[in-house]
Amino acid sequence: MELAPLLQYLISGLTNGAIYALIALGFVIIYHATTIINFAQGEMVMLGALSAISIYHLYPSLPLAFLGGVALVTLVGIVFERLALRPVRDPNPITLIIITVGGAVFIKGVAMLLWGKEAYSLPSFSGDAPFHLGTATILPQNLWVLGLTAVVLLGMEAFFRLTLVGKAMRACAYNPRAARLVGISLGRMVQLSFALSAALGAGAGILIAPLTLGVYDMGTMLGLKGFCAAILGGLGSSFGGVLGGLILGVAESLATGLISSGYRDAVAFFILLLVLFIRPQGLIRGGS
Amino acid sequence: MLAITDQPLLELKEISLAFGGLQALDGVSFTVAPGTVQAVIGPNGAGKTTLFNLITGFLSPQSGRVVFQGEEIQGQPPHQVARLGIARTFQLVQLFDYMTVLENVMVGRHRLSRAGLLAGALRLPWTSQEEVSIRERALEELQFVGLADRAHQPAAALPLGLKRLLEIARALAAEPTLLLLDEPASGLDAVETERLQEMILALRERGLTILLVEHDMGLTMEVADQIAVLNYGQLIATGPPREVQKNPEVIAAYLGTDWQT
Amino acid sequence: MNPRKFLNPWVLFGAAALLTAGVLDNDYYLTLINFIGIHALLVVGLNLLMGYGGQISLGHAAFFGLGSYTSGILTATYGVNPWLALLAGLVVCGVTAFLIGVPALKLRGYYLAMATLGFGIIVYIFFTEAHKLTGGPSGLAGIPSLSIGGFKLDTPKRLYLLIWPVLGVILALSANLVDSRTGRALRALHEGETAAQSLGVNTAKLKLLIFIWSALYASLAGSLYAHTLNFIAPSSFGFMFSIKLVTMVVLGGMASIWGSLLGAAVLTVLPEILTMFHDYEVIIFGAILMVVMIFLPRGLVRGLKDLWEFRRYKKEGGIIG
């Protein structure tokens, strides 16, 4: 096996992995606040990509498209929690699964009406002139994805460790009753968690759009892979989720190159089943 | 049903279990003689419910043995333990809410009937006969606890006091040798507690062995032949009610706590 | 058993089925009715698992597909007798359900949902990618029709005479099942796994059994589907179809045999009546899932029935709380 393609697979694997990591973090945040797995998380990714593209078509400024897309989807996240989850009277897992799956399908359907079935492109953040690393090619967008993901992840970490709100959210996850006793509003925290994870999903979608195009049904797969990454990382820790995302991205990319591209998506789910069946607590034990 | 030997029905030997750093049970040993009512008392958090979960297979001890009818049962799954003839109720009532009162009790007959998935789907003639006997026995238990007239209501529609009775009827339908009652009087009013007391004594007459966790000291003193007192996971006294009541260690453990009469 | 309570729906079902057979001679409607029957088979099975047993499956289309493709491949490619192929499909689905079920059913709630979803997608990808075996995305054509003796079941009417009696038998089996010892244990497992175990119910084994059982229904439906259409393609067995099945269960009502038939009928007929429906199909499914689960978590039929019964008993009993 030659080194060159291996390096190429590694680069594209890490890029996808970073996206999975962002989505995984969204799952982890909501899971921490509510113990809900939000099956609609992937649709936030799709909404992020498509709304940024639309904004860019109205007014061609990438920063505006990015921020506008994230803001819009954050709002969707908040509305979704408010309308679909807060009124639930009997919050057992089956009910919540069906509701969030329903939400995912609903959002996807609306997106299909709004944007149709065609794929849209978003220009790369800084051109398409590739770098060469040995024989491997790196696109500037690869670096944007990796760089921004790193910035966002560090920012999240700082938010949870340093700010009052972040600490309050962690307190809720750790012990909801005690949190309520010291005056933290659980409802507010749940809302915040949905807002944050929607924003993360949207960011992921906008980052990946220049590489993969944006299309109404891109969310399902990305969401599931983000979940797979979160599970790999044990669902407990954001660090685990990030590592899970990178492992998944690289594994998928290697399998695509070495085995067959048709089974690319199957790899992620094969890993998912393997992890669920053999080590449902994740590869990295989640500590809170 | 009464064993003729002097062998205890249930024997706990040096049971220990810790959750994280918390020693829930620490070297607890005692025996339950057949045909008796044995109460386990102790302040909140003393490890009483943990003890029940250990006996019924929902938890495994880290060390020690649970011996039922001469057979070691620790580490066996709950359904296996149930099939040996140990039935229980729960501190927080666990009924099948959307099933009828009668159906709840009919599930109690599970271990004593055998129609499987295919036989049931095909409704083989013998399964219909089995169903009839399941239904009859379930109705008998409902009559015993006084719920026969509510047989066809959903269990969730019962008030708490009747839910506790239903749970007992469900456990009785399994015709257990040993019945574990986890705080059966909590949430009952004086009249209902009185009825419960009569019921427990009637069951002992039937030859049933009962292990009881209860906070209501009046009830406990009336029905128990033997009392075991737990405090912070340790057994601090066993004996007949009168003796235990006078035990200075027991009094100390309860002082200033929720000793209810 | 109260004969009035027991007989009514069955008499209606039989009468309606016979009447349809005697009167209706329109191929379009008969085809539609046949599809309702096939969907109802799937939905009853899924309802046993989900509505009665409380175990969610978001990959039920996979078993439908496995049954379909086993029948399709064995008959179209290898010329095996269709009835034998149907049996082979049952074996394939039963074994697959066993292999997936043993590890998957140890998982609860979200994990089980994700595991079944992942399984469904892997199977779908397999249908699409294993070109030599399945014909790939463009599908598998040339699947022969079923025949009984020399009587070929190749018109909608003739298929109707197979599918609906089969459905009738399956409905009867299912109604018997839920009203049997195992059915009670199954409902008990759903409502309180701990309590069920404490009464001697081997819940792990029961979950596996009902998972396999519902996979067998799906396989049967798949085989009938393959021989009805004479052509199958992976797109019929994807994630969205699994969701559609869940929607049918939810709409008709969790833990309701007749509700399953209703759910299947409504969501099979609606897209045909409303030509606009196709564009909005996904949105409508999503909305149904959300609205019904938020307001009537036990499904439409069952939820309304519960509301009514509880009100009645609360009035009668003078309930405190």
Total number of residues shown for chain B: 261
Q: Among the listed ranges B1-5, B242-246, C73-77, C295-299, which one has the minimum average pLDDT value?
A: B1-5
Neighbours of chain B (3+ CB pairs under 8 A): C
- Residues of B with CB below 8 A from C177's CB? 117, 120-121
- Is the pLDDT score of B245 beyond 70? yes
The CB density around residue C230, as the number of other CB atoms within 10 Å, is 16
User: What pLDDT was estimated at residue B91?
Assistant: 92
Task: Quote the ipTM score.
Answer: 0.92
Of residues C125, C243, C297, nearest to A105 (C-beta)? C243
Chain C residue with the nearest C-alpha to that of B53: C198
Chain A residue with the nearest C-alpha to that of C57: A94
For the segment A209-213, the average pLDDT, to the nearest whole number, is 93
Q: How far apart are CA A51 and CA C89, in angstroms?
A: 45
Token output for B77: 């799954």
- Domain ranges in chain B are 1-85+176-261, 97-175
| Greater pLDDT, B142 or A130 | B142
pLDDT in tens, A23-41: 999 999 998 888 889 999 9
Residue type, position A206, single letter: I
- For CA atoms C148, C154, C155, C159, the dihedral sign is positive
Q: Is C307 on the interface with A (CB under 8 A)?
A: no
User: Under CATH, what is the fold of the domain B1-85+176-261?
Assistant: Rossmann fold (3.40.50)
Of residues C108, C243, C294, nearest to A99 (C-beta)? C294
Q: Is C270 on the interface with A (CB under 8 A)?
A: no
- Is the pLDDT score of A136 beyond 90? no
Look at chain A and report how many structural domains it folds into. Answer: 1
- Residues of C with CB below 8 A from A256's CB? none
In a domain, A123, yes or no: no
Chain C residue with the nearest C-alpha to that of B104: C188
Chain C residue with the nearest C-alpha to that of A262: C129
Containing structural domain, residue A78: 3-117+165-278
Q: How far apart are CA A43 and CA A28, in angstroms?
A: 16
Q: How far apart are CA B64 and CA B13, in angstroms?
A: 5
CA dihedral A170, A175, A178, A183 (to 10 degrees): 30
pLDDT in tens, B131-185: 999 999 999 999 999 999 999 999 999 999 999 999 999 999 999 999 999 999 9
Q: What is the pLDDT along chain C (321 residues), one digit of tens a residue?
A: 444 555 577 777 887 888 887 788 888 999 999 999 999 999 999 999 999 999 999 999 999 999 999 999 999 999 999 999 999 999 999 999 999 999 999 888 888 888 999 999 999 999 999 999 999 999 999 999 999 888 899 899 999 999 999 999 999 999 999 999 999 999 999 999 999 999 999 999 999 999 999 999 999 999 999 999 999 999 999 999 999 999 999 998 888 899 999 999 999 998 888 777 777 888 999 999 999 888 887 776 666 776 776 666 655 544 433
- Domain ranges in chain C are 10-239
Q: Is C300 on the interface with A (CB under 8 A)?
A: no
- Minimal C-alpha gap between C90 and chain B (Å): 15
pLDDT in tens, B75-128: 999 999 999 999 999 999 999 998 999 999 999 999 999 999 999 999 999 999
Q: How far apart are CA A45 and CA A107, in angstroms?
A: 11
In a domain, A207, yes or no: yes
**Residue B235: beta bridge partners?**
B230
